[in-house]
Amino acid sequence: MNRPTGTGQTIGRQEPTFEAALLGTSFNAQDPGRRPDLIVQANDVGDVIAAVKRARDEGLKIGICSGGHSWAQNHIRNGGMMLDLSRLNSIAINEADGTAIIGPGCLAGELNEALAKRRLFFPVAHAYTVGMGGFLLQGGFGWNSRTNGLACQNVIGIDVVLADGTLVHANEQENSELLWAARGAGPGFFGVVVRFHLNLHPRPKFVGLKLQVFRIRHLEEIMAWADRVGPDVSPSVEFQLVFNRKATGIFSHGLEVMAPVLTDSWRAARDAVAFIDQSPLRSKASLALPLMPISLNMMMKTGEKTLFLPNTRWTADSMWMNDPIDPLLPALRQIADSQPAAPSHALWLNWNPPASRPDMAFSLEARTYLALYGGLRGKAATPADESWATDHMRALQTHSVGIQLADENLGRRPMPFMAPDNLARLDTLRARFDPEGRFNPYMGRP
């Protein structure tokens, strides 16, 4: 993925710079084989309005790209216009009222750095280079989201260019149905968001990481323990298990028990992660580190140097589940046994959401989350490696209540991602605001 350089252009498919401009928008180094007819690299809101009007006049469908981190490369479709918003990356922070207005092309890490200087906080994505545009629209499982809510719950307004080229503002009072949709519609949103208005939080005073690493032979007992203790883990802890063939510290097939923690004191953090040292399995750890203070910035950058490497061909897939883990253990063992080389990895996340959330498009989540990230580098991958994430998620499908749009794989494996009533309302709004279907629908849906 390339950061935008120079003034944005409109680039037709026959032009020599087209391929690099298109594929350079994508974090995923896979070539999806799809090609739009033209790329419009917007420099400002005026360019976005002009592009949408051109698409309307010429009958073109529109695919939108902010940070290009859609694993499925949702913005790259056959035919029509690809609208690149990466240059709309402004950040304006209002310290007095604890709000910010950002462009969709602003990166998670950039916003986090700007806020850190002012001791303010937003639940940005976990990796530095994720675009805020797509992240906010799909829900946004950000840092401290179990405490501060999903990122989309902290969007208090949007400025959006609709299918007819008009620019409107939406908040809780004005055009509120657009804000409702923007909180969770993700890659099925039916307008171009050119500015997000965000509610900010005081910055947690302590950020740390607790880490234990086990050999993969302990997988079943660790997963069963994690599933058992998960519901009682403090919301300030992002309790997760990651298994990969090059686990931290042991550089071989292992399982990392990771617990980033964001609190207001070292003491509170220590208490919140104490359950890890109290585990009966502790003595089996190959590596057990004490709670370490670490900056969020460092964690965001480290993730992209270890697990989420760029220049990698990725296939991600995911599932939400309420089922207890025990019946899934044989399938998890198969996932581990067949997992391709690092950076491919599996993530189990203790989510345990609150009993209710505000009414918004986002409406599907569950007790735990499982995601597979098949990351291939070089040419040695086998067909089984290529389809590892999709095949194993398909095999586990009956245990799942649906998928997360953050790690969607809808083109290959369409699955529920929203409560049925919310999806029906979203479809009604789409028919009203985008009657001609100007904006691409979800992949896997007509």
Ligand X SMILES: Cc1cc2nc3c(=O)[nH]c(=O)nc-3n(C[C@H](O)[C@H](O)[C@H](O)COP(=O)(O)OP(=O)(O)OC[C@H]3O[C@@H](n4cnc5c(N)ncnc54)[C@H](O)[C@@H]3O)c2cc1C
Give the binding site for ligand X (CB under 6 A).
Answer: 27, 64-71, 74-75, 85, 104, 125-127, 130-131, 133-135, 137-138, 140-142, 186-187, 189, 192-193, 308, 406
Beta bridge partners of 206: 263
Q: Which is nearer to ligand X, 183 or 288 (CB)?
A: 183
Q: Which is nearer to ligand X, 130 or 389 (CB)?
A: 130
Whole-Å CA distances, 234 to 189, 259, 261, 263, 353? 33, 11, 9, 10, 12
What DSSP element (H or E) covers 270? helix 266-272
Q: Which is nearer to ligand X, 214 or 375 (CB)?
A: 375
- Closest approach of Cβ 70 to ligand X, in Å? 3
Tell me: cis bond preceding 343? Omega within 30 of 0 counts. yes
Q: Which is nearer to ligand X, 75 or 345 (CB)?
A: 75
Structure-block tokens of residue 3: 């950061």
Q: Which is nearer to ligand X, 288 or 316 (CB)?
A: 316
Q: Which is nearer to ligand X, 75 or 210 (CB)?
A: 75
- Closest approach of Cβ 23 to ligand X, in Å? 13
Structure-block tokens of residue 131: 């675009």
Q: Which is nearer to ligand X, 84 or 216 (CB)?
A: 84
- Closest approach of Cβ 116 to ligand X, in Å? 17
Q: Which is nearer to ligand X, 258 or 288 (CB)?
A: 258
Whole-Å CA distances, 216 to 192, 242, 327, 414? 45, 10, 18, 31
- Closest approach of Cβ 310 to ligand X, in Å? 8
| 3-class secondary-structure state, position 313 | strand
- Closest approach of Cβ 282 to ligand X, in Å? 28
What DSSP element (H or E) covers 390? helix 388-395
- Closest approach of Cβ 327 to ligand X, in Å? 27
- Closest approach of Cβ 388 to ligand X, in Å? 17
Gyration radius from the chain CA atoms: 21
Half-sphere exposure of 51 (CA within 13 A, CB side): 30
- Closest approach of Cβ 334 to ligand X, in Å? 25
Which of 177, 179, 209, 216 shows the shortest CA–CA distance to 195? Answer: 179
| 3-class secondary-structure state, position 180 | helix
Query: What is the distance between the alpha carbons of residues 76 and 82, in angstroms, rounded to a whole number?
Result: 7
DSSP codes of every residue in 28-64: S----S---SEEEE-SSHHHHHHHHHHHHHHT--EEE
> Is 316 in contact with 409 (CB distance < 8 Å)?
yes
Q: Which is nearer to ligand X, 216 or 406 (CB)?
A: 406
Query: What is the distance between the alpha carbons of residues 176 and 189, in angstroms, rounded to a whole number?
Result: 14
